[in-house]
């Protein structure tokens, strides 16, 4: 057994999605597309007599992290540092869950493969209702297109072959669990339309256009987010809303040009990695 292991998991902004429930959480998930980010979460796991989870110095409960530790049959201290806020559409819970799986496998020498670890993390997120597609996107890196839902043994992924500077501003939290437990019919229709647009033309302009239409048609846009997107459009930029958070993201210098003081990062070329 090693003393500790650390994994870095990129953040993930979902531009649009449709939900695909299944009684087996490793087969459930979402279709959609998003951006993985150089801003992400660093997760360190070390063996401990009982399991605890700490995020940026605060102890908290994150159900899928607990599930991963239980599935791997270990007790550990999980310490995460995040460049991104929790609950704001950046996949922080997915990052903590996947990072815990990768680091715990290394520390406790569980000899599982990458696909097995991603499956465990994805299933734990789906079961907890905290995410449907973040984990598989964060394992992939880049700008993943989720063509078919589920964990790595089930899903089909493609990607937009591009990189981008990304700016974002977050106004607060939205509960993924609340939205996903509500009425999702309109969301499914809008998500399918957006996906078929991006499959037809897998480029950044097509992705952000499809994402913006999705945000409007599903009624998920909040006033502050709408204002942000319009301000970016007003200076000739391209922005949309992070699903699901009260967060605007833009390519290039869209938000700076519109007078905001955004956080700045880039799309992340790699998926989650051990450090």
Asked if 105 touches a copy of itself (CB under 8 A), the answer is yes
Query: Do strands 52-55 and 76-82 pair parallel, antiparallel, or not at all (unpaired)?
Result: parallel
Kindly state the greatest CA–CA separation across the chain.
56
Residues 6+ positions from 87 with CB-CB distance below 8 Å: 173, 174, 175, 176, 245
Stretch that binds a copy of itself, among 86-94, 151-159, 208-216, 255-263 (CB under 8 A): 151-159
Question: Which of 83, 202, 224, 235 lies at the binding interface for a copy of itself (CB under 8 A)?
Answer: 202
Stretch that binds a copy of itself, among 112-120, 180-188, 219-227, 253-261 (CB under 8 A): 112-120
Asked if 201 touches a copy of itself (CB under 8 A), the answer is yes
Residues 6+ positions from 222 with CB-CB distance below 8 Å: 171, 174, 241, 246
Question: Which of 65, 106, 215, 232 lies at the binding interface for a copy of itself (CB under 8 A)?
Answer: 106
Please, what is the minimum distance in Å from the beta carbon of residue 32 to a copy of itself?
15
Nearest 5°: the CA angle 224, 91, 237 is 45
Residue with tokens 């970016």: 232
Please, what is the minimum distance in Å from the beta carbon of residue 201 to a copy of itself?
5
Could you give phi then psi for residue 151, rounded to 5 degrees? -70, 180
- Nearer of residues 148 and 230 to a copy of itself, judged by Cβ: 148
Please answer whether residues 141 and 268 qualify as being in contact, where contact means their C-beta atoms are separated by less than 8 angstroms.
Answer: yes
Asked if 112 touches a copy of itself (CB under 8 A), the answer is yes
Nearest 5°: the CA angle 99, 182, 228 is 70
Asked if 233 touches a copy of itself (CB under 8 A), the answer is no
- Nearer of residues 129 and 202 to a copy of itself, judged by Cβ: 202
Residue with tokens 């087969």: 27
Please, what is the minimum distance in Å from the beta carbon of residue 269 to a copy of itself?
4
Length of the chain: 275
Please, what is the minimum distance in Å from the beta carbon of residue 54 to a copy of itself?
23
State how far the Cα of 228 lies from the Cα of 260, in Å rounded to an integer.
8
- Nearer of residues 157 and 177 to a copy of itself, judged by Cβ: 157
Please, what is the minimum distance in Å from the beta carbon of residue 87 to a copy of itself?
28
Asked if 141 touches a copy of itself (CB under 8 A), the answer is yes
Asked if 114 touches a copy of itself (CB under 8 A), the answer is yes
State how far the Cα of 95 lies from the Cα of 17, in Å rounded to an integer.
18
Phi-psi category of residue 32: left, alpha or beta, with phi > 0 → left and psi -120 to 50 → alpha: left
Task: Give me the residues that bind a copy of itself (CB under 8 A), please.
Answer: 102, 105-106, 111-115, 117, 141-142, 145, 152, 158-163, 199, 201-203, 269-271, 273-275
């Amino acid at each position: 057994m090693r003393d500790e292991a650390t994994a870095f998991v990129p953040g993930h902004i979902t531009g649009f999605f449709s939900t695909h429930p299944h009684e087996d959480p490793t087969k459930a998930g979402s279709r959609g597309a998003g951006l993985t980010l150089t801003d992400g979460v660093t997760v360190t796991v070390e063996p401990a007599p009982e399991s605890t989870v700490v995020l940026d110095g605060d102890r908290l409960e994150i159900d899928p992290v607990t599930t991963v530790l239980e599935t791997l049959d270990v007790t550990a201290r999980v310490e995460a540092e995040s460049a991104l806020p929790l609950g704001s559409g950046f996949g922080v819970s997915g990052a903590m869950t996947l990072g815990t799986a990768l680091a715990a496998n290394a520390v406790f020498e569980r000899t599982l493969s990458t696909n097995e670890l991603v499956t465990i993390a994805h299933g734990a997120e789906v079961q907890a209702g905290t995410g449907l597609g973040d984990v598989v996107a964060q394992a992939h890196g880049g700008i993943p297109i989720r063509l078919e839902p589920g964990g790595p043994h089930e899903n089909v992924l493609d990607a937009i072959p591009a990189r981008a500077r990304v700016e974002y501003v977050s106004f607060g939290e939205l509960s993924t669990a609340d939205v996903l437990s509500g009425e999702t019919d309109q969301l499914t229709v809008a998500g399918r339309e957006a996906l078929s647009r991006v499959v037809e033309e897998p480029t950044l302009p097509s992705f952000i256009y499809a994402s913006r239409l999705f945000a409007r048609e599903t009624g998920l846009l909040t006033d502050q987010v709408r204002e942000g997107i319009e301000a970016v459009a007003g200076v000739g930029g391209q922005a949309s809303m992070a699903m699901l958070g009260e967060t605007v993201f833009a390519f290039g210098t869209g938000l700076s040009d519109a007078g905001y003081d955004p956080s700045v990062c880039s799309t992340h070329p790699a998926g989650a990695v051990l450090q």
